[in-house]
Amino acid sequence: MFSLAADLIHVFSSVPRHLNFIDHTSDIGWKESQRVQPVIVDAGIYLAGRNQFFQSTEKRATPDGFKFFTGSPWVILNRRFIEYCIFGWENLPRTLLMYFTNVMLPLEGYFHSVACNSDFRNFTVNNDLRYVAWDDPPQMEPRFLNITHYEEIVESGVPFARKFREKEYLLDRIDEKILQRWRHRPVPGAWCTGRKRWFSDPCSQWSNVNIVRPGPQAEKFRRYMDRILEESKSSNSSCAQ
């Protein structure tokens, strides 16, 4: 299996399966007036093609039946939490689903609010496992990453990063140095059995594709995971208030 997937499997195999990784906060600030209170109608929900959303001229009050949480749209969710959201054996997931249908950027709030207003609050790690560079003070969007961020990304041990410009050289460096991927070829893994030559792709021959062999970043990722899990345990509640 190729390096990145092998690293993820290697590290997550020792992570408790009841945990969710959701970067979140209830300190919504300016988002209250610009994201929570406006009523949005997304025509794409009702029409076959993708369309622009429409915003109502009136706003609604901030809900008091639940606490609004927001954060990164990039989440890692466990199976039980997903089933809770889909089957909704309580009213909360359905109630929030109806509310977030008319919220701008619902992926930045739905899972966060469901988790932190339910018993899953104690099984939520406040982290999205992504390297992100922000301006000071932070703007609405993070900075584009470039080659100057390479060393920080590698040393951080974080498995994901964003965001990148198209054809960013930093991605080529990661392919070459971390994933050891040749140009226009797959990332090599333990399943590649061919000889590595300049004219020959070692992955043109393969054996058991289920073999997992961690790459050079796996140990850094494990240390990073151990640290954030320890920090999560030391807090009184995993959901930040």
Neighbours of 11 (CB within 10 A): 22
How many Å apart are CA 205 and CA 196, to the nearest integer?
11
The 10 Å CB-count burial string (b at 16+, else e) for 129-139 is bbbbbeeeeee
Give the DSSP letter of residue 210: T
Res. 2: pLDDT tops 60: no
pLDDT at 31: 83
Lowest mean pLDDT of 34-43, 122-131, 138-147, name the range: 34-43
Res. 126: pLDDT tops 80: yes
Rounded mean pLDDT, 75-87: 95
* pTM (predicted TM-score): 0.85
Residue type, 141: E
How many Å apart are CA 11 and CA 33, to the nearest integer?
40
Res. 241: pLDDT tops 60: no
Over residues 35-60, the pLDDT tens digits come to 888 888 766 666 666 667 777 888 88
For 222, half-sphere exposure in the C-beta direction (CA atoms, 13 angstrom radius) is 13
At residue 6 the predicted structure's pLDDT band, cuts being 50, 70 and 90, is confident
Over residues 194-239, the pLDDT tens digits come to 777 766 777 777 777 777 778 788 899 999 999 999 988 877 555 7
How many Å apart are CA 193 and CA 204, to the nearest integer?
8
Instruction: Tell me what the pLDDT averaged over the chain comes to.
Output: 85
